[in-house]
């Protein structure tokens, strides 16, 4: 098992949710890999800090009146009528969404607080208020534009300059107002743009872990086969020598795009990046190896009936998002089979069936995604 594989499984290993063989494989790797043990220690530190957060966060007392006033202005007067009893044909989801609003609000605050705590725990945080990117080789040595850096010396990372970590080295990058990045051994990273409304990096090879607290689509990492666009999250991104790679999201969401494909990967999910193809199909982090192997084949040939048979035989209740993306990418009989399987696990809203999901209409598919409990990012 490689460091990039272990990095994407650290969170599940810590929780003990991996299958026994994968849990043991990660444990054996950790015995002989100091850098991955350091990553596990950082993950445990984050979990401990998050556990100290309050169980509930009450919004300010004057917050709701302002929200209520905006809703009142947005709803026409002829629609503002007393609620009626729900009948069998009525859709209860709007009421459920209304009840969920305070919970979603509190959850977003807790997420922001967790990211802030993790960021504040990082080394050399004294540079956090400064503009620009700063790098320090915190373990071993690294090279910045060919110049050898030795910890604990810190250096500013200029636009278009390359940062390279050697074997056994790990570098720490920090930018004021955005967050921080840890760069694993044998990685090569370049700062493309810093300032204004964008922070853009290029990961040519290796692995990085990004912990970002910026607004969506401010922090961007280009790879040879896809671009990772931060939507507020903590994630691991890896690139191999052939330009393929993987993304594993711990918290929040990451958008993976190339010229032809786009996926949004939520926390707890991973996604392969295929050289020449771009983003693959998202799947649960820690999924069985057999499932991910068949999914790789699906990404390359989604008309293969043998591949579809094996995937559908292994997919379960927790793989609804994976099935949804497979529906989106398929056509003809394959799409019909996938719709039937997903519908058996999470029935599509009735109006979507009546309008015909098989046509692949994006708006209808997004409504189904929302009913599965996932947000459809515009």
Tens-digit pLDDT profile for residues 70-102: 555 554 544 444 333 333 333 333 334 444 444
Give the tokens for residue 127: 């540079």
Residue 205: predicted pLDDT: 96
Given a contact cutoff of 8 angstroms between Cβ atoms, the answer to whether 7 and 207 are in contact is yes
Highest mean pLDDT among 64-68, 121-125, 129-133: 129-133
SS3 call for 373? coil
Q: Extract the runs of DSSP E, i.e. beta strands, from 58-197.
A: 133-139, 141-144, 147-150, 154-157, 162-165, 170-175, 179-183, 188-195
Pick from 112-126, 200-214, 334-348: least confident: 112-126
Residue 281: predicted pLDDT: 96
| Confidence band, pLDDT 50/70/90 cuts, at residue 150 | low
Could you tell me which of 107, 105, 112 has the C-alpha nearest to residue 211?
112
Could you tell me which of 260, 265, 190 has the C-alpha nearest to residue 228?
265
Separation between Cα atoms, residue 62 and residue 378, nearest integer Å: 30
263-319 residue pLDDT tens? 999 999 999 999 999 999 999 999 999 999 999 999 988 668 899 999 999 998 899
Highest mean pLDDT among 30-34, 40-44, 264-268, 360-364: 264-268
Separation between Cα atoms, residue 23 and residue 9, nearest integer Å: 9
> Residue 92 burial (CB < 10 Å; 0-12/13-18/19+)?
exposed
Separation between Cα atoms, residue 26 and residue 6, nearest integer Å: 6
Q: To which H or E segment does residue 325 belong?
A: helix 320-329
Give the tokens for residue 3: 């460091």
Separation between Cα atoms, residue 166 and residue 269, nearest integer Å: 29
Q: Extract the runs of DSSP E, i.e. beta strands, from 240-352.
A: 245-257, 262-266, 269-274, 278-279, 283-284
Given a contact cutoff of 8 angstroms between Cβ atoms, the answer to whether 214 and 177 are in contact is yes
1-11 residue pLDDT tens? 777 677 778 77
Q: Residues near 142 by Cβ (< 8 Å), separated by ≥ 6?
A: 135, 148, 149, 163, 164, 165, 166, 169, 171, 183
Given a contact cutoff of 8 angstroms between Cβ atoms, the answer to whether 121 and 99 are in contact is no
Residue 330: predicted pLDDT: 87
Q: To which H or E segment does residue 209 belong?
A: strand 198-212
Highest mean pLDDT among 52-66, 96-110, 119-133, 253-267: 253-267
């Amino acid at each position: 098992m490689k460091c990039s594989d272990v990095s994407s499984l650290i969170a599940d290993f810590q929780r003990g949710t991996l299958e026994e063989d994968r849990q043991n494989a990660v444990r054996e790797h950790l015995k002989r890999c100091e850098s991955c043990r350091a990553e596990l220690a950082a993950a445990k530190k984050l979990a401990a800090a998050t556990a100290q957060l309050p169980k509930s966060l009450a919004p300010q007392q004057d917050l709701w009146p302002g929200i209520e006033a905006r809703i009142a202005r947005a709803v026409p007067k002829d629609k503002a009528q007393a609620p009626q009893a729900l009948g069998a044909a009525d859709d209860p989801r709007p009421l459920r969404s209304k009840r969920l609003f305070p919970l979603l609000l509190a959850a977003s605050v807790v997420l922001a607080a967790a990211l802030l705590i993790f960021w504040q725990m990082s080394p050399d945080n004294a540079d956090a208020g400064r503009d620009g990117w700063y790098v320090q080789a915190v373990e071993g040595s690294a090279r910045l534009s060919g110049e050898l850096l030795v910890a604990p010396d810190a250096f500013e990372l200029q636009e278009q300059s390359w940062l390279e970590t050697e074997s056994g080295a790990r570098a720490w990058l920090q930018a004021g107002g955005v967050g921080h990045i840890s760069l694993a051994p044998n990685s090569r990273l370049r700062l493309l743009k810093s300032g204004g409304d964008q922070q853009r990096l290029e990961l040519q090879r290796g692995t990085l872990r990004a912990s970002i607290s910026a607004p969506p689509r401010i922090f961007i990492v280009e790879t040879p086969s896809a671009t990772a666009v931060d939507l507020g999250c903590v994630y691991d991104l890896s690139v191999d020598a052939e330009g393929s790679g993987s993304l594993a999201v711990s918290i929040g969401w990451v958008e993976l795009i190339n010229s032809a494909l786009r996926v949004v990967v939520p926390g707890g999910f991973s996604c392969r990046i295929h050289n020449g193809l771009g983003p693959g199909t998202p799947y649960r982090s820690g999924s069985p190896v057999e499932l991910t192997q068949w999914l790789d084949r699906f990404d390359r040939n989604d008309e293969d009936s043998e591949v579809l048979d094996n995937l559908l035989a292994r997919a379960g209740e927790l793989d609804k998002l994976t099935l949804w993306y497979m529906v989106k990418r398929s056509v003809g009989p394959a799409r019909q089979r996938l719709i039937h399987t997903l519908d058996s696990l999470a029935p599509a809203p009735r109006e979507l069936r009546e309008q015909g999901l098989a046509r692949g209409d994006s708006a209808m598919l997004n409504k189904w995604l929302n009913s599965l409990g996932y947000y459809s990012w515009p």
